[in-house]
Amino acid sequence: MPATQFDRDSMACWYAKEHLKTDPGVCSVYYLPANADEREIRLIEVNRLIGDRNDEALEPIDFGIDTGTENAHKLFVLDVTPEQWKRIRTQELGLPANWSLDGAMHYKYE
C-alpha cells in the first residue's frame, strides 16, 4: 500500500481532539509537523494536572501505532505544564532536538 494513503495531518487532528476530549488535564494541543518523518506525529500537550516540574521531565513519549498495517506510524507526545509552555514560547526552554514550532497547528478544548 502506498505511503500516501496515510494522512498524517488528519490523524494528528484526530489525536489532538481525542486527547482534549478524554484527558481532563489537557488544555491545549500543538501539532508540530516541521522536520518530522512522514509517518511520525509530534504533539505538545499542555497539561494543567501534571504539576510543577523542573526540566528533567521534558521528554517526548513515543508509541508505535498500527504496526504492520498501511496506517503504521509513530506518535510522540511531549507533555508540558502551562508554565513550561510559556517558557517554550519565549525560547527560555528548548524543545527536543529537531523539534520546531514552525507551522505548528493549535487545538484547544471547545
Partner 1 sequence: MNSYQRLWWEQAKSDHGAFMLLRGQGIAQCHSLHYLQMVTEKIAKAYFWRSGHAPPRSHAGFVQFLRFLGMLRHADRERTARLFSFNRFSDFQDWIRTVLPIAYDLERLAPDLANNGPNPEYPWPHAQPTCAPVSHNFDVWVSLTTGQGRDLMRVIRIAVERFPEYADT
Residues that bind partner 1 (CB under 8 A): 22-23, 25-26, 45, 47, 49-57, 59, 61-67, 72, 74, 77, 79
CB of 25 to partner 1, least distance (A): 5
CB of 1 to partner 1, least distance (A): 17
Task: Using the minimum distance from each CB to partner 1, give the nearer residue, 66 or 103.
Answer: 66
Task: Using the minimum distance from each CB to partner 1, give the nearer residue, 24 or 103.
Answer: 24
Q: Are strands 40-47 and 73-80 parallel, antiparallel or unpaired?
A: parallel
Task: Using the minimum distance from each CB to partner 1, give the nearer residue, 74 or 87.
Answer: 74
Q: Quote the cell numbers at residue 49.
A: 494536572
**Whole-angstrom Cα distance, residue 41 to residue 55?**
22
List all residues 6 or more positions away from 43 whose beta carbon is below 8 Å from its beta carbon.
12, 15, 16, 19, 29, 30, 31, 32, 75, 76, 77, 78
